[in-house]
Structure 1
Amino acid sequence: MRRLACLLTAVLTAVPAIGGCGIEQTGVRDLGGPPVISYSPTWVTVYLLRDGRLEPARIPVGSDSAKNIVDTLFRAGKQPPKPGLTSALNDFSHHDTETTRYYDEAQRNDPAGNLGYRLSVIISGEGEISREGLAQITCTIRQNKQESIWSIEVTRLFPGPPKTWGEHTCFEFRNLAAEGVRLPP
C-alpha cells in the first residue's frame, strides 16, 4: 500500500503542467482593476433666503424627482451650503409630494394641447408658512421642473386640521428675488 502511494505521488509530480481536470495551468494574469460603478450626481437649484430675499444655491441630489428636490430644499435650509443663507421652512418638514394633471377645460379633448401637472407639496409643522416659505418651495420646483409642473399647491397635513395655502407660480414672488436674481416663471 505504501509503495502504491509513493508511485501515485511520483506520477502526479512528474506532470505539473496538467491540473486535475485536464486544463493546463497558467500563471496569474492581471486584467485590470475591479469593475466600478461611477456616480455622477444630479445638481438642482434650491432657493434659500439671504436677508429675506430668494437666492439660488446649487446642491447635488441622487435624482431630480420632485420629491428629492423638495427633500433637498428642506435639508438645505437646516444646513445651508453658503454662509448667510437661511430658510423660512425650518419649522416644517416635508411629508410627501403628489403630482396631478393640470389642464384647461378647453384643451381637455385636444390631443395636441399642452398638458401640465400640479405638484401638491404636503408638509407638517406648527403654525403658518410665510410668503417666503411658499416662494422657496414654488420657485425651487419651477426652477427644476419648469416644463412639466405648471403650479405648486402647498398643504399642511398635520398637526391639527389640514390647511392649504392654494396654488402658486414663481412669477407671483418676483418681488422677493435678490438683486440680480432672475426667478423662473
Structure 2
Amino acid sequence: MDERIRVQVIAVDPAVRVGVDDMVRVCPELTVVADRPDVVLMVTDEVSDAVLVLLRSLSRAGRRVLLVTDTLREPDVVEAVQAGAGGLLRRGEVRLDRLRPAIRATADGSFTVPSDLLEAGDREPERPPARQLTKRERTVLLMLADGHETEEIARSLAYSVRTVTGIVHTITHRWQVRNRAHAVACALREGLI
C-alpha cells in the first residue's frame, strides 16, 4: 500500500488506548485518526456480548476491525468473525513486528489469527464434499489466516495472483460464505486448518 493506513484505536481503558496509539504512531506507514479509519483497532479484555454488538455495528458501517483481546479461544474466533472482525490478536502478542502486518492484512481485507488456533492436527474428519479442502486450498487458507496478502501468498507458493484469487473465490463460492475472513472462520470451526 502506497498511502498511509488510517487507524482508529478503541479501548475502554484510556491508558491502554494511549499506549496503543503511541505504538501505531511509531510506524511510518500508519497514522492514528479519530474518524474515517481504514482499520479500527479494538482493544478489549474478552470477546463479550458488548464487544460483539460493537463489532456488528462497525461491520455494518463498512469498517474493518482488528480485535485485540486478552483471552481468545476458538469459539471466540468464530463469534468475532461472524460479528465482523477482520482479524484477531491476543494482547500479549501485540508487538510492532506482529501488529504492523496484522493492521496491513486487515486493511487489505485479509485475515490474521493467532497461530495456535490454526493447529487442527493431522486428522481428516468425515464431512460433506462441499466442506472438503484440497491441499492447495488448505495451504492458501492457512496463509490467509496468518495475515498474508494475496501477493505474498502467490510469491511464496509460486502461483500467480490470479490463481490465488481464484482459489479463494472458489472456496467462498462453494461454501457460500461472505468473504475470506468468513471462510477462515468456517475452516477453523470445522477443523480444516
TM-score range, shorter chain: under 0.3
Q: Which has the higher helix share?
A: 2
Q: Which has the higher strand share?
A: 1
Rg larger for:
1
TM-score, normalised with respect to structure 2:
0.20
TM-score, normalised with respect to structure 1:
0.21
